[in-house]
Amino acid sequence: MKDFPSCFGENGVQVSEASSEAHMTTTATSKIAQNLVTCVYQCRMRNLSYFIVTLTWSKNLMMGQTLSAEIGDANNQCLCKVDIKPWLFSKRRGFKNLTIGSKFIDIYWDLSCAKFGSSPEPIEGFYFAIAVNRELILVLGDMEEEVHKKIDATSLTPNAVFVSKRAHVFGKKVYSTRAQFCGKGQIHDILIECDTMGMHDSYLLIRIDGNPVMQVKCLRWKFRGNYTILVDGLPVEVYWDVHSWLFEKLMGNAVFLFKSCLSAEKLWASEDQSWSSKDRQSQAFGFSLVLCAWKNE
């Protein structure tokens, strides 16, 4: 179980014993890390080709609010990358047109009225859209009507799947984020309450939309583990590692992984049946959420 973050490759969250040098930079790193969210989407076109879109939302005192959008091909090779700094008034609303080989890529965004919570990822009052060769492949936000006014697209309903999310959260005992475990399903509020101060009564409690779904007592004996919960009637595997919180002298981070156990058949049941089984096997099925939780003492 201890190697669970390795499924995210070299850019994944690493859970290991920190060296003394790493300890020296933990505090500085955590101040930056707390305001970073990375979301990955698989976007399929009508000709069955698809793209990997990676959005990184971040916020810090030096740079303000920033958004980085990276578009990759089916082999996850980067085709283009666009950096947006909406904290600058002129960048809160705009568009960018790119030509990559035979592909014409249009990117539109409007964050001028966006509302944010504790996360750098906006909650409402915004849109972000990408079209390839005049076909919409991704639309985010609650302003779709504005997107259709801006983009003269041949396809108005993009076929995108939310694949994974990596977030850094900051708090004392309570850590929260939002996630969508199944395709275009409901967005859920996830709250993790973790008390590691008690010698005998340390505990971990996870709530989904305010409802308790998992509790671990005697955390000093169960600082790593996994458990299966149900979300939207589907099994979601939860892994946790709070070793650094309990046994390291300086502040470290705990890691939580939520991974939906959704089969290919269920994920794409409502999709175009002409999609070949080979294409299905090439996709990353289900959804993964990684939370790096940093203590704010």
Asked which of 13-17, 79-83, 173-177 is least confident by mean pLDDT, the reply is: 13-17
77: helix, strand or coil: coil
DSSP state of 45: -
Please choose, from the candidates 245, 242, 212, 248, the residue with its C-alpha nearest in 3D space to the C-alpha of residue 226. Answer: 242
- Say whether pLDDT at 166 is over 70: yes
Asked which of 160-164, 210-214, 239-243, 283-287 is least confident by mean pLDDT, the reply is: 283-287
Contact 85, 92 (CB under 8 A): no
In terms of phi and psi (left: phi > 0; alpha: psi -120 to 50; beta: otherwise), the region of 66 is beta
Can you give the pLDDT at residue 205?
94
Tokens of 87: 């904290």
- On whether the pTM is more than 0.75, the answer is yes
Kindly list the strands in the beta sheet with 64-72, ordered across the sheet, starting from the edge strand earlier in the chain. 78-84, 64-72, 50-60, 36-44, 159-171, 288-295, 253-260, 234-241, 224-231
All structural domains of the chain with their residue ranges: 1-7+18-37+165-297, 47-154
Contact 14, 244 (CB under 8 A): no
147: helix, strand or coil: helix
- Say whether pLDDT at 39 is over 50: yes
**pLDDT tens digit sequence for 211-229:** 999 999 888 889 999 999 9
Can you give the pLDDT at residue 30?
41
Q: Is 241 exposed, middle or buried (0-12, 13-18, 19+ CB in 10 A)?
A: buried
- Say whether pLDDT at 57 is over 80: yes
- Say whether pLDDT at 123 is over 50: yes
